[in-house]
Amino acid sequence: MRIKINLMLGFWVIFYSSLGYAFEVPTFFASNMVVQQNKQFVIWGTDTAKQRITMTTSWGGSTSTRADANGKWRLTVDTPKADHKPHKIVLTGSNKKIFSNVLLGEVWFASGQSNMGMPLSGNFNQPIIGSNETILHSTNPQLRLFTAAIKASVTPLDNVQGTWQEAQPATVKTFSATAYYFAAKLQALLDVPVGIIVSAWGGTPVESWIDAPTLAQYADFNFHQALTNQPVHRQPSQLFNGMINPFLGLQIKGAIWYQGEANRSRAREYKTLFPAMVKNWRNLWNSGEFAFHFVQIAPFSYKGDRSSAYLREAQLQSVEAIPNSGMAVTLDVGNCSQIHPADKQPVGERLAYLALGNQYGMDVSHTAPTFKHADMLDDGKVSVDFANAPLGLTSFSKAITEFEVAGNDRVFFPAQAKLMHRKAKLTVWSDEVKQPVAVRYAFKDCPSGELFGVNGLPISSFRSDDW
């Protein structure tokens, strides 16, 4: 008899839960979370249809609503400026939920593939430089971490698996190295609580992170053929459904992104799809045109072709195509034999410079010089001019060997380069090319980053041609 009763109770729990009648919220609404300051806090969930839901907060906000006929509800309340105090949120519906140790501060979202997901402790045979010292000194109750479990889905999901945790050695060592260095730098310099959410999966193309209605606009792109027979995490829209859709509506300051390797053979499509993804997220997120800063993929040997150079070019062009965005260049921290570079601290900190300069108004030189134009001179040399270089350029007194020039035959030869004194330009030439018509810098799969702004930030690979 007891077995029968227990089976019936289990049936009704499953039945009502499937109808959205359980009093639930997504996992990222929980104790230890960070709530975006100076913005409306938005929270949603399910309960019994028509159930009254009330929310009170220790910072003074209170509001209520009723669940709709499908058991869904949503509440909003204003948030004040960060105050470093632990707060409490009380939700009352068919039962009560209490979230404690909640902080008001800055919330950022981090996504992409394996170089974003790579933990501070490293991967098998793949270290993170300086990880021991970073982990040992990581205890910081003002920095909160959330990692979403990987999940692909053919339909949009409403929740992810994950837990908010305070930064300390036990939690930091398994957390994204890039995201940690980014968030730790923000927290130290802004002196407010920072929450960072990581939702990343290795080996994934940008198409996996875009919703189906958006992808339907690009029916002639070959991902419809190329990826449908791939593993689920490489199929169109699967990761948007499982790892982005659950967060839509969460109020954030911005996002950071590290992805591109999986699209290296389709750079022309990436040039269109990457900005489309950012627009897709912003349109659905309902958090304004939030900041979006991303990492240009690092050098790696793909056995002699230039595919990743074209992908880096597409990423460079995306800075202009995506409003309120910035790109961290990583030409100087790559490894030709390791697709997961070990030096993640400069990557995270360069992303932080972008946010500190653009979103928080700090006086930090946060962008590298960029190629402006190339002029072919009468003496067979090329004058290459740069923008955003108020103090000029530097190679840190090392030889510059990554330039190439070509004539009308479109055959590129290695070239010499010389920085021009007190100017943001340099002269390039090759004895093999008497009348150059095009110049390229570091335009191959695994170049060395040799050219920098005086602020120490490396210049992206570029080309003057469109061949």
pLDDT digits (tens, 9 = 90+) for 360-395: 999 999 999 999 999 999 999 999 999 999 999 999
- Give every CB contact of residue 68 below 8 A, 6+ residues apart in sequence: 49, 50
Report how far apart, in Å, the C-alpha atoms of 73 and of each of 44, 46, 281 are. 6, 6, 22
Predicted pLDDT at 47:
98
Under the banding of pLDDT at 50, 70 and 90, the label for residue 421 is confident
Task: Give domain status of residue 10, yes or no.
Answer: no
Task: Give first-to-last CA distance, the chain, whole Å.
Answer: 78
Does pLDDT of 16 surpass 50? no
User: How far apart are alpha carbons 48 and 53 in whole angstroms?
Assistant: 10
Q: 350 and 441, same structural domain?
A: no
Task: Answer with the one of 302, 330, 358 that is the final residue of a domain.
Answer: 358
Task: Tell which residue, 334, 397, 421, 326, has the closest CA to residue 364.
Answer: 326
- Give every CB contact of residue 150 below 8 A, 6+ residues apart in sequence: 201, 233, 242, 243
Q: 389 and 280, same structural domain?
A: no
Digit-coded pLDDT (tens) for 299-347: 999 876 788 999 999 999 999 999 999 999 999 999 999 999 999 999 9
Q: 239 and 117, same structural domain?
A: yes
Task: Give domain status of residue 9, yes or no.
Answer: no
User: How far apart are alpha carbons 162 and 108 in whole angstroms?
Assistant: 16
User: How far apart are alpha carbons 166 and 402 in whole angstroms?
Assistant: 44
Does pLDDT of 6 surpass 80? no
Q: Which two tokens stand for residue 400?
A: 């510059």
Q: Count CB-CB contacts under 10 A for residue 328.
A: 26
Task: Give domain status of residue 376, yes or no.
Answer: yes
Q: 86 and 116, same structural domain?
A: no
Task: Tell which residue, 195, 134, 198, has the closest CA to residue 166.
Answer: 195
pTM: 0.94
- Give every CB contact of residue 20 below 8 A, 6+ residues apart in sequence: 46, 70, 71, 72
Q: 54 and 171, same structural domain?
A: no
Q: 171 and 42, same structural domain?
A: no
If you average pLDDT over every residue of the chain, what do you get? 93
**Which H helix or E strand runs over 273?**
helix 267-285
Under the banding of pLDDT at 50, 70 and 90, the label for residue 8 is very low
Q: 98 and 111, same structural domain?
A: no
Predicted pLDDT at 229:
73
Four-residue CA torsion sign, 185, 205, 369, 331 = positive
Q: Looking at residue 296, which CATH number applies to its domain?
A: 3.40.50.1110
Predicted pLDDT at 10:
45
Under the banding of pLDDT at 50, 70 and 90, the label for residue 4 is very low
Q: 186 and 42, same structural domain?
A: no
- Give every CB contact of residue 442 below 8 A, 6+ residues apart in sequence: 309, 331, 402, 448, 449, 450, 451, 460, 461, 462
User: How far apart are alpha carbons 445 and 166 in whole angstroms?
Assistant: 39
User: How far apart are alpha carbons 274 and 206 in whole angstroms?
Assistant: 7
Task: Give domain status of residue 119, yes or no.
Answer: yes
Domain extent at residue 422: 370-463
Digit-coded pLDDT (tens) for 140-164: 999 999 999 999 999 999 999 999 9
Residue 398: what are its φ and ψ, rounded to 5°? Answer: -100, 160
Q: 116 and 82, same structural domain?
A: no
Predicted pLDDT at 21:
65
Does pLDDT of 263 surpass 80? yes
Q: What is the mean pLDDT of residues 185-197?
A: 98
Predicted pLDDT at 224:
52
Q: 391 and 337, same structural domain?
A: no
How are beta strands 72-78 and 140-147 bridged, if at all? unpaired
Task: Give domain status of residue 294, yes or no.
Answer: yes
Digit-coded pLDDT (tens) for 279-305: 999 999 988 899 999 999 999 998 767
Predicted pLDDT at 147:
98
Q: 159 and 94, same structural domain?
A: no
Q: 146 and 135, same structural domain?
A: yes
Does pLDDT of 19 surpass 90? no
Asked if 350 contacts 368 with a C-beta cutoff of 8 angstroms, the reply is: no
Under the banding of pLDDT at 50, 70 and 90, the label for residue 1 is very low
Q: What is the mean pLDDT of residues 238-249?
A: 98
Task: Give domain status of residue 4, yes or no.
Answer: no
Task: Give domain status of residue 7, yes or no.
Answer: no
Percent of the chain with pLDDT over 70: 94
Residue 104, class by beta-carbon neighbours within 10 Å (0-12 exposed, 13-18 middle, 19+ buried)? buried
Question: How many domains is the chain partitioned into structurally?
Answer: 3
Predicted pLDDT at 220:
84
Q: Looking at residue 62, which CATH number applies to its domain?
A: 2.60.40.230
Q: What is the mean pLDDT of residues 260-266?
A: 93
Asked if 440 contacts 464 with a C-beta cutoff of 8 angstroms, the reply is: yes
Digit-coded pLDDT (tens) for 42-89: 999 999 999 999 999 999 989 999 999 999 999 999 999 999 999 999
Q: What is the mean pLDDT of residues 231-235?
A: 91
Under the banding of pLDDT at 50, 70 and 90, the label for residue 221 is confident
Report how far apart, in Å, the C-alpha atoms of 118 and of each of 103, 289, 340 are. 26, 28, 8
Task: Give domain status of residue 8, yes or no.
Answer: no
Predicted pLDDT at 226:
52
Task: Answer with the one of 299, 327, 358 that is the final residue of a domain.
Answer: 358
Task: Answer with the one of 102, 131, 166 that is the final residue of a domain.
Answer: 102
